[in-house]
């Protein structure tokens, strides 16, 4: 019988992993690592190899607000994944592979700044205008938010996700489109709100 006195290391494959290959389209590696399909289906997993679970986790912020179907479409569009094209979060640090980060790479357990956990707190209703929820999630913004904050976040994301900054990557182009749509929606809402205020007070 195998001795089980060794601590399960975070980057060891999950013992519960199914016997199949990585969910990343075209990847022949054995799937050993799970990742939730979306913030709304945290018990429903993709199964990836180590490289691809790390890539997926690094993109978690970007997948915010997307449905599992939209995420899968992005996986298929974004098949390279070999050259991380934007902020790799904490996994991009020089701490090689920090076990703690891998154990809770998405910060779901810590819950720090995670919009979903905040929203799920009992009694805390989502006060955000319904039409703005996805745009806010896409840009990673809270609510209420000022036009200045929206502009500043947009500038930052647009710079990071710009195809020119990502070797002309088509997936980056798609991300930038999503970011632009979110920004346009938020700016339109905040502009309109500001004009209403001026009309009321003036």
Cβ-contact 101, 91 below 8 angstroms = yes
# of chain residues touching Zn ion (CB under 5 A): 6
Query: What is the H or E stretch that residue 125 is in?
Result: none
Between 22 and 58, CB nearer to Zn ion: 22
Cα 100 → chain centroid: 19
Binding track, positions 94-113, relative to Zn ion; x by CB under 5 A: --------------------
When asked if residue 27 is in the footprint of Zn ion (CB under 5 A), the reply is yes
How many Cβ atoms are within 10 Å of 110's Cβ, its own excluded?
Answer: 11
Listed ranges 15-23, 103-111, 116-124, 146-154: which one lies at the site for Zn ion (CB under 5 A): 15-23
| Binding residues among 46-65 for Zn ion as defined by CB under 5 A | 49, 52
Is residue 145 at the binding interface for Zn ion, with CB under 5 A as the rule? Answer: no
Long-range pairs for 136-144: beta carbons < 8 A, 24 or more residues apart:
136/65, 136/182, 136/186, 137/64, 137/65, 138/64, 138/65, 138/178, 138/179, 138/181, 138/182, 139/179, 139/182, 139/183, 139/186, 140/61, 140/64, 140/115, 141/186, 142/115
Q: Does 18 interact with Zn ion (rule: CB under 5 A)?
A: no
> Which is nearer to Zn ion, 46 or 183 (by Cβ)?
46
- Rounded to a whole number of angstroms, the minimum distance from the CB of residue 66 to Zn ion is 20
Q: Which of 29, 44, 100, 126 binds Zn ion (CB under 5 A)?
A: 29
Stretch that binds Zn ion, among 20-28, 75-83, 152-160, 173-181 (CB under 5 A): 20-28
Closest by CA to 61, choosing from 52, 69, 71, 51, is 71
Q: How many CB atoms lie within 10 A of CB 173?
A: 15
Told to check if 136 binds Zn ion by CB under 5 A, we report no
Least separation in angstroms between CB 75 and Zn ion: 11
171 near Zn ion, judged by CB under 5 A:
no
CB of 23 to Zn ion, least distance (A): 8
Q: Which residues are at the interface with Zn ion (CB under 5 A)?
A: 22, 24, 27, 29, 49, 52
């Amino acid at each position: 019988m195998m001795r089980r006195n060794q601590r399960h290391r975070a980057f060891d494959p999950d013992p519960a992993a199914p016997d199949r290959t990585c969910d990343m389209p075209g990847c022949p590696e054995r799937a050993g690592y799970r990742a939730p399909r979306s913030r709304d289906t945290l018990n429903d997993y993709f199964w990836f190899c180590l490289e691809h679970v790390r890539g997926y986790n690094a993109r978690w912020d970007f997948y915010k607000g997307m449905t599992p179907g939209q995420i899968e479409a992005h996986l298929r569009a974004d098949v390279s994944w070999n050259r991380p094209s934007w902020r790799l979060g904490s996994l991009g640090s020089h701490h090689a592979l920090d076990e703690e980060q891998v154990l809770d790479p998405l910060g779901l357990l810590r819950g720090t700044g995670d919009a979903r956990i905040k929203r799920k707190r009992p009694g805390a209703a989502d006060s955000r205008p319904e039409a703005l929820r996805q745009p806010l999630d896409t840009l990673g913004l809270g609510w209420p938010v000022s036009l200045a904050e929206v502009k500043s976040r947009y500038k930052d994301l647009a710079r990071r996700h710009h195809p020119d900054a990502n070797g002309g990557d088509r997936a980056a182009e798609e991300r930038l489109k999503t970011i632009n749509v979110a920004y346009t929606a938020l700016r339109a809402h905040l502009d309109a709100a500001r004009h209403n205020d001026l009309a009321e007070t003036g």
